[in-house]
């Protein structure tokens, strides 16, 4: 649906405001974590503007970083119990697996959906379901390609567990996994924080994977090879 122009007594100001709204929708803003990666090559391009062999590569680098760290707006579903994709990317696995020990979800296999993010995907992560953070654990590890099954077990990762309602409510875990090139995982929430579904909570640089472990008996609604849109694509529905 097209956004309506803002009502404004001054026609020129209203048109400018509407143009800015359209620009924000067309060109997504940059996640704050990406600002230094864009600003540094942009500054090099400015300082070396008299030398094309300096300015052009620097501008290309700044543009590539701006694209990588883009942070587009999303419209999150509002159905009760919906679990949405925590990241943009391709569904790599829909199976059952034992969740990471640090998640506190036990030692029995649980339904899992893994999303692989290429360097061309949006790399911010979004909260898959509203709830309270019960654990956040960073685990050092290897950096094998994130699309391999063993990446869930062997790679560096950050695991966050969310309780979706009051004490005794269903819990799920969302795991940010570093990849072959990725060397930095950002996870902002802390234990005890209350999260809203669809909000941005973290970031992985540069190419990675995000796993979601669901309560036993959950039936995922996505398939291997499907494209997921973070904060929008329904992964499953929980009984709450």
56-95 per-position pLDDT tens digit: 777 776 666 656 666 677 888 888 889 999 999 999 999 9
Beta-sheet pairing, 157-163 with 131-139: antiparallel
Peptide bond into 227 cis (omega under 30): no
- Reported as type and span, the H/E element at residue 175 is strand 171-178
Distance between CA atoms of residues 45 and 2, nearest Å: 36
What pLDDT is stored for residue 168 in this prediction? 67
Q: Which of 103, 114, 152, 208 is catalytic?
A: 208
Q: Read off the pLDDT band of 18 (50, 70, 90).
A: low
pLDDT at 212 over 80: yes
pTM of the entire structure?
0.78
Contact 183, 204 (CB under 8 A): no
Cα torsion 196, 122, 85, 207: sign: negative
Contact 80, 164 (CB under 8 A): no
pLDDT digits (tens, 9 = 90+) for 218-235: 999 999 999 999 999 999
pLDDT digits (tens, 9 = 90+) for 169-204: 899 999 998 876 656 788 899 999 999 999 999 888
Distance between CA atoms of residues 165 and 178, nearest Å: 29
- CATH architecture designation of domain 82-237: Distorted Sandwich (2.70)
pLDDT digits (tens, 9 = 90+) for 129-160: 999 999 999 988 777 666 667 777 778 899 99
Contact 83, 212 (CB under 8 A): yes
What pLDDT is stored for residue 124 in this prediction? 87
pLDDT at 98 over 70: yes
Across the strands, what pairs with 195? 131
Catalytic status, residue 208: yes
pLDDT at 122 over 60: yes
Residue with tokens 């970083």: 65
């Amino acid at each position: 649906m097209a956004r309506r122009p803002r009502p404004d007594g001054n026609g020129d100001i209203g048109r400018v405001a509407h143009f800015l709204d359209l620009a924000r929708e067309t060109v997504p803003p940059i996640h704050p974590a990406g600002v230094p990666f864009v600003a540094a090559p942009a500054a090099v391009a400015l300082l070396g503007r008299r030398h094309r062999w300096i300015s052009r590569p620097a501008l290309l680098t700044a543009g590539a970083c701006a694209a990588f760290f883009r942070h587009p707006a999303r419209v999150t579903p509002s159905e009760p119990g919906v679990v949405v994709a925590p990241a943009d990317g391709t569904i790599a696995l829909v199976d059952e697996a034992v969740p990471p020990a640090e998640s506190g979800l036990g030692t029995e296999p649980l339904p899992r959906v893994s999303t692989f993010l290429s360097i061309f995907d949006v790399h911010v992560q979004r909260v898959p379901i509203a709830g309270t953070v019960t654990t956040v654990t960073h685990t050092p590890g290897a950096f094998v390609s994130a699309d391999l099954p063993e990446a869930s077990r062997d790679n560096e990762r950050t695991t966050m567990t969310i309780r979706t309602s009051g004490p005794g409510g269903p819990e799920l875990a969302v795991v940010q996994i570093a990849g072959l090139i990725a060397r930095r995982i950002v996870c902002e929430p802390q234990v005890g924080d209350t999260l809203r579904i669809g909000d941005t909570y973290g970031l992985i640089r540069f190419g990675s994977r995000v796993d979601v472990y669901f309560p036993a008996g959950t039936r995922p609604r996505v398939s291997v090879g499907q494209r997921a849109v973070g904060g929008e694509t329904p992964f499953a529905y929980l009984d709450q």
